[in-house]
Chains A and B, each alone.
Chain A
Amino acid sequence: GAGVSQSPSNKVTEKGKDVELRCDPISGHTALYWYRQRLGQGLEFLIYFQGNSAPDKSGLPSDRFSAERTGESVSTLTIQRTQQEDSAVYLCASRATGPSLDYEQYFGPGTRLTVT
């Protein structure tokens, strides 16, 4: 079946502009995550959505970052007034949930954001 998809695959923007990144999770996956990966580093958690529960925003680095998810489908990550330090690959992952079982997260291909 289809995996997690993200768009755009690459985005170059000027400092100070807003950008919007999109994630389409695997159908039926109720959990959705956004991570950031700076060059040569591991992944940093940004935000987590689970069904209709309030999102876990504890990883968002500043109030310039926000994300939305409509039901159990598409999510958008918005970065306002982009800064050069926002340059990174932004990865989305989705996960199935169920009782008493742990499921792995399936990652999308990422969006490479470059702020000039």
Chain B
Amino acid sequence: AQKITQTQPGMFVQEKEAVTLDCTYDTSDPSYGLFWYKQPSSGEMIFLIYQGSYDQQNATEGRYSLNFQKARKSANLVISASQLGDSAMYFCAMREGLGDTGRRALTFGSGTRLQVQP
């Protein structure tokens, strides 16, 4: 079974508008962390935002926010006020276990390619 599912292979958004990238996950571990990474065409993986399974509030980092719905096992990324430089692949990832417990590697989704149009 897929641990991380990103159902949108590609998305378009107009500059200055907000966009939501979907991510659902599957785990039986009550302790886990959810991550979003951005991968521009240059190839580097850029960390955007993190949400721990016990965090009470949705994570926010500047224009990025994570809409964490634990019961639905979803962790959607919201980008507000899109910019042309936001055009990239976006990957959702999960690590089961927290801190120095559990499996340390990240499991990645297949990604969503976001294109911001002027």
Binding site for B on A (CB under 8 A): 31, 33, 35, 41-45, 48, 50, 56, 59, 89, 91, 93, 95, 97-102, 104-110, 112
Binding site for A on B (CB under 8 A): 4, 33, 35, 37, 42-45, 47, 50, 52, 91, 93, 95, 98-100, 103-111
User: Which residue in chain A gives the minimum CB-CB distance to B51?
Assistant: A102
User: Which residue in chain B gives the minimum CB-CB distance to A31?
Assistant: B104
Which B residues lie within 8 Å of A59 (CB)? 105
| Complex contact B106–A102 (CB within 8 A) | no
* Apart from A35-B106, A56-B105, A102-B98, 13 more pairs, CB < 8 Å: A31-B104, A33-B104, A43-B45, A43-B91, A43-B93, A50-B104, A89-B43, A99-B100, A102-B33, A104-B47, A106-B47, A109-B42, A110-B44
| Complex contact A48–B105 (CB within 8 A) | yes
Among B43, B47, B100, B105, chain A packs the most CB atoms within 10 A around the CB of B105
CB-contact partner of B99 in A35, A50, A102, under 8 A: A102
